Structure 1
Amino acid sequence: MFYYVSKIAWFFATPSNLLISLILLGLMIALVPSARSLGIGLALSFTLATAALGLLPIANYILIPLENRFPPFHDDGKPVDGIILLGGSVEAAESAARGTIVANESAERLIDTIKLAHLYPKARILISGGGGTVFGEGIAEAPIIASFLESLGIDRARLIIEDRSRTTYENAVFSREIAKPKEGERWLLVTSAWHMPRSVGIFEKAGFPVVPYPVDYRTSGSVTKQRFFAFISDGLRRLDIGTKEWAGLVAYYAAGRTSALLPGPQDAGGKVSR
């Protein structure tokens, strides 16, 4: 139920969707003769707000605290027992239809996992990503990625496929069930930097300690060096991502699925829960 409610609610609350809806609402109000001025005023105001939110670097200021929460991973010479790749880097339906991997703007998740696979040749690789949608079952991402990794020469015996999850919470719970991490094992968690705080909080709460490996940065990390976006769509896309992630942090904390509102380095690397 949490999954369906969150997906439906977010569809209407997504900034880009909400702004367009408000513009249309203003235009509808303008059709009423007695409220024509009000409707035009509302439509114009929300149109200007859409342009401002799309062009100004507001979205970057929302993302920077998330992306800067965990430092980049640097090899410290310690052994790595496993690598967890969270889904979201591949378009599963398009990949299946084309018969080849179709990556999206989060492709760094997959690219860096390939790099880690070669850097730590003994580490297991857990690919977590199902294909559930609000309106039915979609095509799971994990098996598609697994096949791609095999085609690159990565031993199939190293791969663990978790293809049931639809949310980050399910990523963590199902991954722990299938990987069965042992006390003292070291697992790297590969996901987008802006998604890392929520992911770490959820995995730790689920009893699966992880070492953050953030990738897919969308900002430079500097608050003072932000520029206007060249296209309104670029700014709105980034705004959607940032606001959704902050909303997710609040919702998961309120639901007790994380122990902190904004998990940080101090929340990573706990003990395996038995």
Structure 2
Amino acid sequence: MDSIFFFASKVVHILIEPLNGVLILVFFALLFLLLRKQQLARRMLSIALCLGLFVGYLPSSQWGMRALEEAVPQTPLTPAVLAEVGGVIILGGAIEGGLIAQDRGEVSIFSAAERVTKAMELLRQNPELPFIFSGYSGRLMPQGPSEADAFKQLLQEQGLGAHPGYYENQSRNTYENFLYTKQIIDAIDKNTVKDANLVKGEKDSTAPKPWLLITSARHMLRSLQVANKLDIAVIPVLVDYQTSKQQSWHRFDLVEGGEQWNALIHECIGIAAYWLTGKLEFR
């Protein structure tokens, strides 16, 4: 069932790409021209033009994206907060494993690079704090090393290879990120309790601690609710913001607008699909 859900999500991802819609409309316009249906062709071209203008005018996507990015408040990482956490969970999505890493021998970091840079900042500042990197690949037909393997290589290149950590390299989507991460956290908590040698009736000072969760701001709402569903206590660390608090009324960028609309629709459909299938829980 999870494989069917994953495959369906990839099909939907292709269909919701706004610029794909423009191309489809242009295709039908050309088809209608060949069929000598000029009125329908003009209608298709008009709709394609309007869609392109709407997608490229950045306020159209920034309204929804800003609301999504501000749905979960940022938690100040004070020394008191850091002293009470069990570790850091880093969600994949910023690193390219696959054939690029395999053929070029270099790890590529994409637009969500702040997931990696923020993680490295925390690991350098807290050398005893363990981490879990979660991510295999979001591709339908993955090839080459996983995201987790690529992150491991990146840590070694940055001099952090000896930092205590765990690599989860099976997950293909957000739900699987937390499903497999929970197994690692449960094993860590079990070993912690075992090593504490607690006697019966003694207060348990090794109760599970919350983990810092690093992911893109637009992705945090869905991630947090999936963590709630699986009873994983997390403290959100939001990165990779795509909007400011000011509105860009004068900006037009078809590429940036297309990317923002794609991410916004992807998250909204993801939240709805996860809620309908019982993969998240709002608290």
Tell me the TM-score range normalised by the shorter chain. 0.7 to 0.9
Amino acid of the residue matched to residue 81 of structure 1?
G
Match of 2:97 among 70, 92, 97: 92
Measure the CA separation in 2 of the matches of 1:186 and 1:62. Answer: 30
Q: 1:92 to 1:119 in 2, by over 3 A?
A: same
Runs of 4+ residues over 4 Å off in structure 1: none
Provide the residue aligned with 1:54 in structure 2. Answer: 56
Shift of residue 114 of structure 1?
A: 0.4
- 8 Å Cα contact 1:132-1:139 kept in structure 2: no
Provide the residue aligned with 1:26 in structure 2. Answer: 29
Map 1:189-208 onto structure 2 (within 5 A).
189-208=213-232
C-alpha RMSD over aligned residues: 1.8
Map 1:171-182 onto structure 2 (within 5 A).
171-180=177-186, 182=189
Output one character per residue of 1:193-237: Cα deviation in whole Å (capped at 9) or x when no partner. 000000111112122111100000000034xx2234342111111
| 2:124 corresponds to 1:118 | yes
Which deviates the most, 163-172 or 69-78? 69-78
Shift of residue 48 of structure 1?
A: 2.6
Shift of residue 53 of structure 1?
A: 1.5
Shift of residue 164 of structure 1?
A: 0.5
Measure the CA separation in 2 of the matches of 1:91 and 1:58. Answer: 29
Structure 1: where are the runs of 5+ without partners?
A: 261-266, 268-274
Q: TM-score, normalised by structure 1?
A: 0.88
| 2:86 corresponds to 1:81 | yes
Provide the residue aligned with 1:108 in structure 2. Answer: 114
Which deviates the most, 71-80 or 237-246? 71-80
Provide the residue aligned with 1:40 in structure 2. Answer: 42
Measure the CA separation in 1 of the matches of 2:86 and 2:9. Answer: 34
Q: Secondary structure at the match of 2:95?
A: coil
Measure the CA separation in 2 of the matches of 1:129 and 1:67. Answer: 22
Q: Secondary structure at the match of 1:96?
A: helix
Amino acid of the residue matched to residue 12 of structure 1?
L
- 8 Å Cα contact 1:73-1:213 kept in structure 2: yes
Which deviates the most, 244-253 or 181-190? 181-190
Provide the residue aligned with 2:235 in structure 1. Answer: 211
Q: Secondary structure at the match of 1:220?
A: coil
Provide the residue aligned with 1:263 in structure 2. Answer: none
Provide the residue aligned with 1:158 in structure 2. Answer: 164
Q: 1:5 to 1:199 in 2, by over 3 A?
A: same
Provide the residue aligned with 2:209 in structure 1. Answer: 185
Measure the CA separation in 1 of the matches of 2:12 and 2:94. Answer: 24
Output one character per residue of 1:87-119: Cα deviation in whole Å (capped at 9) or x when no partner. 011121323322222111100000000011122
Shift of residue 132 of structure 1?
A: 5.3
- 8 Å Cα contact 2:138-2:173 kept in structure 1: no
- 8 Å Cα contact 1:84-1:127 kept in structure 2: yes
Map 1:235-246 onto structure 2 (within 5 A).
235-246=257-268
Output one character per residue of 1:135-179: Cα deviation in whole Å (capped at 9) or x when no partner. 355531011111211332325351200011000000000111123
Measure the CA separation in 2 of the matches of 1:138 and 1:170. Answer: 20
Q: 1:97 to 1:73 in 2, by over 3 A?
A: farther
Measure the CA separation in 2 of the matches of 1:228 and 1:249. Answer: 31
Q: 1:16 to 1:140 in 2, by over 3 A?
A: same
Structure 2: where are the runs of 5+ without partners?
A: 190-206
Measure the CA separation in 2 of the matches of 1:253 and 1:138. Answer: 32
Provide the residue aligned with 1:14 in structure 2. Answer: 17
Measure the CA separation in 2 of the matches of 1:32 and 1:138. Answer: 46
Q: Secondary structure at the match of 2:167?
A: strand
